[in-house]
């Protein structure tokens, strides 16, 4: 094949990679992107999007089952609800298919050349791609590593057979009667709660003594309460040992040394993700590492001139929107613009039931910096819109400096609060003060009113609580 030369080569067409390539193309940069699977990466194809589709379907089914049982305060009744998981998966696949086709179209519209295959570095400017028709050599002035991450397995529970990753959970054709989930982080809880709503008997096993360790206890308490209401057994401080000899149960041990045998048709392992740093020729380069991640600076530059890295391969938080922001920035830097990277206002959203949103500093984190803080918290139980949605669990919380009222962080837990994340992030990003939020007219009746009320509470004059 004839060699390809370009100004920018992007390795990986996940959220960070494809955004980087599209923006570079828009700016007139000669760009090539290499992807060995479908455009969109893990998030679009086997992660964020399909999991949210499953969660939505599970919520609807669970509500319908409750209606059939007469457990509906609004008087709505339904009869004999059933779920066809295979059909649901086909619906989910239709969504991801539309989105991957859309990404391909956007790349072409931006003038980006797409090469399908596995890329491997030969040196800091040259990459060889294994394609269906042979080896393609690409030489580039600048290269972006956007290889993403993969699920972490356990030596005692290698993936295969009954032991599945989140990818396997999102391609099941039947709802497992008994599902054991290893790990009580956001992936395990999101999928565990979804399958419980679809009818699975779910048991969650967590080695730590709490769920969702990245969030403070006040945010996770409503989730714990909901887990119990769904009949999900949560075993904290419990370590897994492997599968039983006949493969019908997960074996575990509590902190007190008690042996646990957890019957399971499927075992979903969700103990985290690891950066994909092997298989693309890293050994041919001289890249500095920070632990298992590639080291980057505030402009996503690695230790080698002309090589950038973005997304999960560069460290926490492993979030698609972080990768997207990095990718856009790198494209503009390559085109000659001046940009830098500031990660202080990256929203984190947990799509459990209820949902959790966190932006900026928590109260403990703010105090740890030696600051005196003001905290305002407003419960959804005092919000009219939340009542009409039958979703009164949770609250909005604002953390601000005591001296000048600068907002340092905003958190919320409640039904649908993921849609408030943009407002929260904008407030932190633009340096809002409590008075700015309290003085902004929020539409009534909406859950967003809780945001203004939380700021008013911090100022000492909440109106509805």
Q: Which helix (H) or strand (E) holds 367?
A: helix 363-368
Sheet of strand 259-263: strand arrangement: 238-243, 249-254, 259-263
3-state secondary structure of 112: coil
Provide the phi-psi class of 137: left if phi over 0, else alpha when psi is between -120 and 50, else beta.
Answer: beta
| Contact in structure between 231 and 201 (CB atoms under 8 Å) | yes
Helix%, strand%, coil% for the chain, nearest 5: 35, 25, 40
Contacts of 393 (CB under 8 A, 6+ apart): 222, 225, 226, 354, 380, 381, 413, 414, 415
- The DSSP 8-state label assigned to residue 424 in this structure reads H
CA distance 261 to 251: 5
CA distance 64 to 72: 9
Contacts of 352 (CB under 8 A, 6+ apart): 186, 189, 190, 193, 212, 223, 226
Q: How far is CA 247 from CA 135, 173, 217, 244, 259, in A?
A: 43, 20, 35, 5, 16
User: Which residue carries 């929107």 as its tokens?
Assistant: 321
Query: Which one is catalytic: 321, 444, 461, 464?
Result: 444
Q: How far is CA 302 from CA 118, 216, 289, 339, in A?
A: 21, 33, 9, 16
464 catalytic, yes or no?
A: no
For the record, the structure tokens of 234 come out as 């949560």
| Contact in structure between 360 and 428 (CB atoms under 8 Å) | yes
3-state secondary structure of 184: coil
| Contact in structure between 24 and 333 (CB atoms under 8 Å) | no
- The DSSP 8-state label assigned to residue 442 in this structure reads P
Count other Cβ atoms within 10 Å, centred on residue 390. Answer: 12
Side-chain half-sphere of 422: how many Cα atoms within 13 Å? 2
Count other Cβ atoms within 10 Å, centred on residue 413. Answer: 25
CA distance 79 to 69: 8
Q: Which residues are catalytic?
A: 444
């Amino acid at each position: 094949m004839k060699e390809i030369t370009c100004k920018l080569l992007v390795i990986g067409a996940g959220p960070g990679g494809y955004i980087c390539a599209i923006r570079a193309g828009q700016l007139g940069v000669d760009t090539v992107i290499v992807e060995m699977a479908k455009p969109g990466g893990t998030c679009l194809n086997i992660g964020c999007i399909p999991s949210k589709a499953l969660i939505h379907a599970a919520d609807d089914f669970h509500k319908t089952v409750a209606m059939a049982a007469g457990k509906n305060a609004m008087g709505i009744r339904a009869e004999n609800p059933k779920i066809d998981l295979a059909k649901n998966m086909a619906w989910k696949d239709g969504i991801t298919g539309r989105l991957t086709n859309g990404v391909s179209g956007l790349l072409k519209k931006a003038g980006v050349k797409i090469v399908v295959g596995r890329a491997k570095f030969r040196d800091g400017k040259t990459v060889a791609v294994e394609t269906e028709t042979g080896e393609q050599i690409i030489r580039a002035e600048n290269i972006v590593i956007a290889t993403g991450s993969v699920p972490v397995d356990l030596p005692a529970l290698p993936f295969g057979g009954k032991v599945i990753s989140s990818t396997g959970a999102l391609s099941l054709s039947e709802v497992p009667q008994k599902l054991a989930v290893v790990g009580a982080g956001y992936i395990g809880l999101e999928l565990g709660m979804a399958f419980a709503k679809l009818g699975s008997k779910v048991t969650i096993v967590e080695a730590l003594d709490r769920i969702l360790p990245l969030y403070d206890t006040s945010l996770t308490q409503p989730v714990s309460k909901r887990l119990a209401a769904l009949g999900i057994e949560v075993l904290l401080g419990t370590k897994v040992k492997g599968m039983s000899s006949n493969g019908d149960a997960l074996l575990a041990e509590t902190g007190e040394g008690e042996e646990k045998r957890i019957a399971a048709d499927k075992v979903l392992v969700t103990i985290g993700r690891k950066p994909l740093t092997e298989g693309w020729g890293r050994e041919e380069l001289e890249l500095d590492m920070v632990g298992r991640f590639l080291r980057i600076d505030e402009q996503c530059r690695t230790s080698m001139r002309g090589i950038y890295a973005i997304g999960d391969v560069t460290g926490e938080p492993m979030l698609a929107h972080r990768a997207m922001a990095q990718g856009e920035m790198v494209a503009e830097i390559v085109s000659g613009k001046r940009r830098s990277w500031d990660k202080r206002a990256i929203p984190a959203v947990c799509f459990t039931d209820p949902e959790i949103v966190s932006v900026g500093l928590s109260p403990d984190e703010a105090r740890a910096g030696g600051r005196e803080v003001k905290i305002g918290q407003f419960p959804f139980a005092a919000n009219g819109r939340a009542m009409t949605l039958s979703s009164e669990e949770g609250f909005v919380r604002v953390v601000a400096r005591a001296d000048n009222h600068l907002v340092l962080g905003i958190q919320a837990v409640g039904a649908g609060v993921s849609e408030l994340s943009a407002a929260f992030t904008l407030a932190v990003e633009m340096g809002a003060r409590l008075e700015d939020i309290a003085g902004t007219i929020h539409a009534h009746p909406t859950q967003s009113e809780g945001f203004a009320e939380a700021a008013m509470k911090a100022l000492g004059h909440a109106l509805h609580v």
